[in-house]
Amino acid sequence: MSGSPVAQVPLVVHGGAADIVAFYRHAPVSLAQFLHDVALVAALLPVGQRVLNAATDRYHFTVGFAAAALARCVTVLPPSYAPEAIARLKDDGPVCCLSDAEVPVALPNIPFPRLRTLDSAPNRSALRIPHLPADQTVATVFTSGTTGAPVGHHKTWGSLVAGAREEAQRLGLVPGCALVGTVPPQHMYGLESTVMLGLHGGGAISAERPFYPHDIVAALSDVSRPRLLVTSPVHLRALLTSGLELPATEALLCATAPLPRALAEEAEQRFKAPLFEIYGATEVGQIASRRPARDPLWELFPGMTLDQRQDQFWVSGGHVREPAPLNDLITPYDTRRFVLEGRGNDVVNVAGKRSSLAFLEQQLLAIPGVVDGVFYMPDEDMVGPVARLMAFVVAPGLTPADLDLAMRRRIDPVFLPRPLYFVDSLPRLPTGKLPLATLKAWISGFSQEARRDRA
């Protein structure tokens, strides 16, 4: 007796040939054009092989991602293009690279082709939207390494689509809403909220990947309304302190790092739009949201539940097909809502008192004049048997005395960082994250340079 047939899920939720799927090079892209571009790229890919999608243009990435899925390829998204990361990919079998720019990786390269505009769009009756098996693995997304070595997690087409639809429902996304993202699509948050939210939330994906404030303003101004800005606390803070006039935007979405409530409130006031925050992890995708300017509680996506097993919480339901553990400290409020206390491995114990690095960083970033900052508890092999909390801060208008006084008003004195370093910038990824290995190497180099300066 054979099992039930596998569900087939469409490539996009858009249905009309003229429906806008993206904005590319200052012009809208129709569904007919998008499907034409996907077919063009799919024909270039080795069927069934893994593909590193290194496209820097978000539309190119989206076309390449969809094309790989149609060619039964698995898109691999490592946390970086460092030689060690690429070597680990090759250890698991053949992998090629799809790129639209020069990428320094030792892999067979498939250049992204030049896209040509259709002479005429086919009518609705002739439009054929491809379908994919819901259980087809389409991506392997690696954790960013903020808490240890990066780990790859397989994603099926069905789970990504379900997550996008849940997110669109939670955000109340209007069909045709332009999605402008400051985070790369190669990251789980960027993949879900700037690519899949377009394909299966009915949004229109902006090809741009703006980084600096004036680029973000330009990217928003280049697409039609309604508009959703998908960003991170680092990019949002830089944008709000830039002094630039902000384009009208219907909503903002933020993730990847703790978001101080004061920053959320300022963003809502300046944009005159609601700001939503997404909670999730590479392992399970996005699972909850909140509007931090109004409510500190997180609410699970529809159909999801949290179950406590000893000291750890597990999530299931919705697009999370099998129960999965969460590595964060959670305090339930009721069956649907919870307080996020911080990561399970970022708890520090000083003089018998406990706090989390995430909480301490939130207090630091909430101080007026602080542009960026991070707390770190060094390993014994870095500083010896007596480890003390250290912090690095970007605050060009503050003195050490100013900052010390402001921190004493917000945190217990036992958690004041010793030492506290003022720096020009932190080595963040484009997502705004600080991978643990990168932070350790940066601190080691920073310490060596400081010792040389003192010599």
Handedness of CA 131, 15, 179, 60 (dihedral sign): positive
**What sections of 43-94 are H helices per DSSP?**
58-70, 83-91
d(C-alpha 19, C-alpha 42), whole Å: 22
| Rounded (5°) CA angle 295-298-299 | 110
Query: Please, are residues 140 and 154 in contact by the beta-carbon 8 Å criterion?
Result: yes
Task: Look up the pTM and report it.
Answer: 0.82
pLDDT for 126 equals 65
pLDDT for 429 equals 78
pLDDT for 381 equals 43
Instruction: Give the pLDDT means over successive 10-residue stretches in the chain (455 positions).
Output: 77 94 95 96 95 96 98 92 82 91 86 84 67 97 68 93 96 95 93 97 96 95 97 91 94 89 94 96 93 95 91 91 87 92 69 72 87 80 56 91 89 85 86 77 70 49
The pLDDT tens digits for 62-120 are 999 999 999 999 999 988 787 878 888 888 888 999 999 987 788 999 999 999 887 65
pLDDT for 383 equals 43
CA distances from 438 to 356, 417, 435, 441 (A): 20, 20, 5, 5
20-24 vs 204-206, strand pairing mode = parallel
Q: Which of 310, 307, 286, 311 shows the shortest CA–CA distance to 298?
A: 286
pLDDT for 454 equals 46
Q: Which of 155, 159, 161, 151 shows the shortest CA–CA distance to 137?
A: 155
Domains for the chain: give ranges and CATH numbers: 8-230 (3.40.50.12780), 278-345 (no CATH), 351-454 (3.30.300.30)
d(C-alpha 451, C-alpha 94), whole Å: 45
